[in-house]
Amino acid sequence: MDIFNSLLMRNIEARGFYFHPKCQELKLTNICFVDDLFLVAGASERLFRVIKDILLEFGSMAGLKPNMGKSTCYYAGVIDEMIDKLDKIMRIPAGTLPVKSLGIPFATSQITTRDCRSLCDKICSRIDG
């Protein structure tokens, strides 16, 4: 993922990539998990073209490409007309909030037992066979 981060940083400087307003101070562009990548950015056509170019360049360099069938774009505070335009650029469907990973919603506050219930149920059912 160092290559991907380098591509992002180069494009931030050269092509005017700008941060999501809540991520500016930390200069946060992405969060990587084992097999998940979350990109955080403002919602503009120009910016989405930059992101698409970065993903294509990374794919040609590393041989890793996003699975568009399993990919989702999430929007907050973006009008429907803009979402339609951005969906056409990325060719990734729009999802609904809250975003979940492993069945647990991402939260800005402490998660509760109720938030983890579905994951715990899945683990228990696998253990029980």
**Amino acid 85: pLDDT:** 93
Question: Do 78 and 126 have their domain in common?
Answer: no
Q: Is the pLDDT of residue 5 over 90?
A: no
Question: Do 88 and 113 have their domain in common?
Answer: no
Question: Do 25 and 76 have their domain in common?
Answer: yes
**pLDDT (mean) for 98-106:** 69
**pLDDT (mean) for 124-129:** 84
Q: Which is higher by pLDDT, 115 or 49?
A: 49
Question: Do 59 and 39 have their domain in common?
Answer: yes
Question: Do 90 and 103 have their domain in common?
Answer: no
Q: Is the pLDDT of residue 82 over 90?
A: yes
Q: Is the pLDDT of residue 63 over 80?
A: yes
- As a whole number of angstroms, the distance between CA 23 and CA 5 comes to 15
Q: Is the pLDDT of residue 56 over 80?
A: yes
Question: Do 50 and 65 have their domain in common?
Answer: yes
Asked whether the beta carbons of 72 and 94 are under 8 A apart, the reply is: yes
Q: Is the pLDDT of residue 81 over 90?
A: yes
C-alpha separations of 68 from 7, 32, 44, 74, 92 in Å: 20, 17, 20, 14, 6
Count of domains for the chain = 2
Tokens of 126: 């696998």
- As a whole number of angstroms, the distance between CA 10 and CA 91 comes to 24
Asked whether the beta carbons of 117 and 104 are under 8 A apart, the reply is: no
What range does the domain containing 104 cover? Answer: 98-129
**pLDDT (mean) for 99-121:** 70
CA proximity to 41, closest of 24, 58, 64: 24
Q: How is 62-115 classified by DSSP, letter by letter?
A: HS----GGG--B--SS--HHHHHHHHHHHT--B--SSPEETTEE--SS---HHH
Q: Is the pLDDT of residue 73 over 80?
A: yes
**Amino acid 1: pLDDT:** 64
